[in-house]
Structure 1
């Protein structure tokens, strides 16, 4: 009988005790020698016998699962992809197959089993790379220095449209990468491409987009200047663009009129958001009488006006951030030159790199006669109501006495709001005009600003021409 060692661990003592039982020593004696109760001894022996039986069993050689555990359909798809893309690695094949793909090692076994060789990538060209001429290289470096923030496509289009020099976008991309590596900068990971719903009109002046860019805070006064732009949907060109300090609905109507006269057209439709400068009876009446369909975007959905919102991002980067400080007069003075660049030089991805003017000059059916455009302001008018004047030829408005004309005492007068102000009309003719009507109306809403309205308001005589008939004809 073997005596237990005093330095043995508990697991070693259990092993020695089980071996002693297997040699036939009495259980009572083993329990006393090793300090383990007989119930535990029998339990340990049972476990040891089971482990020995499992150890002496025959085990099949090879992997636990067969090599062809991939389904036939998946293996067939993997083989087809390996045949179509022989230069792809097993990792690229697995990425192309998606979540259901087998492991890259399994794809390698499938290739070997079907005798599919992986081809190397394209060999380096034998012909030397074409180098840029000295003049082209200088123009590329100058453009990169001036507009490094632009993408390679925009840079290539700007150089082609302004200088007539064709340089591939990949060349600009390679030059930008070298520039960044030289300055120890790296490209940020490209964001995922969103799935947008695309729409586009098929003729110029079929749809205009209008909106304010309200992020221009002047450096000297701290006042916000509003960048008002009207964009043609088909060409992405600006038909109107200006910088304004205090815009309202009259500003929007005058901008539409200026654009209509400049391009000699009447647009088919105009789309605005729900801002106060784009809503009101005056704008609705003007568009209805001229024959323009007025569209407003859904509330809190700027994507409806997404083309112009995207254009504003370029305006902020390409124009406003290039001017320091932001002063109203210099910004407004230089804005026409930027609009000319945007319409005649800047390439657009949707237009395959061509400028907007190539589409703005296309044939369309929205041309208007000059005599209509000469008197187009007269269509911005709507009736407010009728009022019988007092014996003094006046009435009360904004809690003030308003005098129209003593010659119209005790007579009924029809009032219209127009771009000029509040018109008093009789027999279809304007006889008096209150020019600051809209300003007074805005001040009358506020409690503290009511004191800014004069205690007595006076109309002034006016004589306005009638409105000619609207005639939209094909441009020759």
Structure 2
């Protein structure tokens, strides 16, 4: 692609060459086309040396960079970054380099963000995306504490919150009220990021299996044929019931390598969004109030919320349905 202010495209450069080869003076042709004589001579000279390929734009990158940091020094910078997780301000004094130089080296090698590195190994995290909806669906569970009727300690002082707990439940452990937990089961399509979630009371095999059957129906209703499901190594996902349910529907079940939650990263990132934009978005006065707000969050997430990984479009934009079907 030509520079946005360039006078000549490749087609215009061919016209320039043709007019010069026809015997017209280069200065006259340059004036007609609104360019300088040196520029006209440059394109004629390149065409004579390389032919039509010589009329294409070239990169502005210099052929040599004599002042660039030596490769062995750059390798040492990368090693300190990956093994000790040091930043430019600490690597610089060790190697006798300015912090700005270290930062440029890390940027050049894709190591300038620690979030982009696998913490145990220090290797850059490889981001991937399946090519079509349904090729892979990520499934996971997020555990959240229940909210006592009237509100918990996040919306009032702890003495009143404890009174609400005692009034809400009659279960006790060491004379203290036990309010319990909710388990948010979620399924996220790898390609479109279309998400489905439910608030359930446990994470047992029958609960997880029943959730998947409803999630499968959700994706099917959106025209998505699920081919594979990826989960962690939780006991409910390792059960025969869960695997057999997937197999009966013609779906392959994959589990991540132990202690590698990054493999299931898309649903892990969705869990973080779920917490920030739903569970802790505002102070809820009861567990039922928070649960009721989940449906509105999911609709906004799937149909209206801009997703940075999708170029600012919502997940529904990648689902193969008629345009304008969803509002």
Are positions 1:241 and 2:197 aligned together? yes
Which 4+ runs in 1 deviate beyond 6 A? 93-96
How is 1:93-104 mapped onto 2 (pairs within 5 angstroms)?
Answer: none
Shift of 1:233: 0.5
Aligned to 2:209: 253
1:218 equivalenced with 2:147 (yes/no): yes
Q: Is the 8 A contact 2:137 2:188 kept in 1?
A: yes
Out of 312, 323, 328, the position equivalent to 2:287 is: 328
Matched, 1:285 2:244: yes
Q: Give the SS at the match of 1:322.
A: coil
Contact in 1 for aligned 2:133/2:189 (Cα 8 Å): yes
Secondary structure of 1:260 counterpart: helix
1:232 equivalent in alignment to 2:161? no
CA distance in 1, matches of 2:208, 2:285: 23
1:303 aligns with 2:276: no
In the TM superposition, what is the alpha-carbon distance from 1:191 to its structure 2 partner?
Answer: 6.1
Distance 1:214 1:362, change over 3 A: same
In structure 1, C-alpha distance between the alignment counterparts of 2:198 and 2:186, rounded to whole Å: 7
Q: TM-score, normalised by structure 1?
A: 0.36
Question: Which sits farther off after the overlay, 250-259 or 206-215?
Answer: 250-259
Question: Within 5 A, what are the aligned runs for 1:135-214?
Answer: 192-194=114-116, 195-214=124-143
Pairing 1:339–2:298 present: yes
Q: Deviations over 1:419-459 (max 9, x none)?
A: xxxxxxxxxxxxxxxxxxxxxxxxxxxxxxxxxxxxxxxxx
**Cα deviation, residue 278, structure 1:** 1.4
Bigger fraction of residues in helix? 2
Give the whole-Å Cα distance in 2 for the aligned partners of 1:326 and 1:361: 39
Quick one: structure 1 residues 78 and 254, their matched pair in 2 at CA, closer, same or farther if it must change by over 3 Å?
Answer: same
Offset from partner CA, 1:246-294 (integer Å, 9 cap, x none):
2321222222221222332541000111112212111121112211100
In the alignment, structure 2 segments of 5+ residues that lack a partner are: 1-63, 69-96, 106-111, 117-123, 149-164, 170-178, 323-327
The superposition leaves residues 333-352 of structure 1 with CA deviations (integer Å, 9 ceiling, x where unpaired) of 11111000111111111111
Asked which structure has the greater RCO (Cα within 8 Å, sep 6+), the reply is: 2
Matched, 1:262 2:230: no
Structure 1 residues 305 and 96, CA gap change in structure 2 (3 angstroms)? same
Alpha-carbon separation, structure 1, partners of 2:285 and 2:262:
28
Would the aligned equivalents of 2:237 and 2:243 in 1 still touch at CA under 8 Å? no
Measured in 2, the distance between the counterparts of 1:353 and 1:310 equals: 17
CA contact (8 A) 1:217 1:326 kept: no
Instruction: Look at both structures and tell me which one has the larger radius of gyration over its CA atoms.
Output: 1
Provide closer, same or farther for how the CA distance between residues 286 and 321 of structure 1 changes in structure 2, counting only shifts above 3 A: same
- Report the aligned-residue RMSD: 3.1
1:358 aligns with 2:314: no
C-alpha distance in structure 2 between counterparts of 1:277 and 1:193, whole Å: 30
User: How many aligned positions are there?
Assistant: 188
Aligned counterparts, 1:37-52, within 5 A: none
CA distance 1:246–1:197, change in 2 (3 Å)? same
Contact kept, 8 Å, 2:141 with 2:203, in 1: the verdict is no
User: Counterparts of 2:264 and 2:193 in 1: how far apart (Å)?
Assistant: 12
Contact 2:230 2:256 survives alignment (8 Å): yes
**Per-residue deviation at 1:357?**
0.3
Deviation for aligned residue 1:94: 6.8
Superposition TM-score, scaled by structure 2 size: 0.51
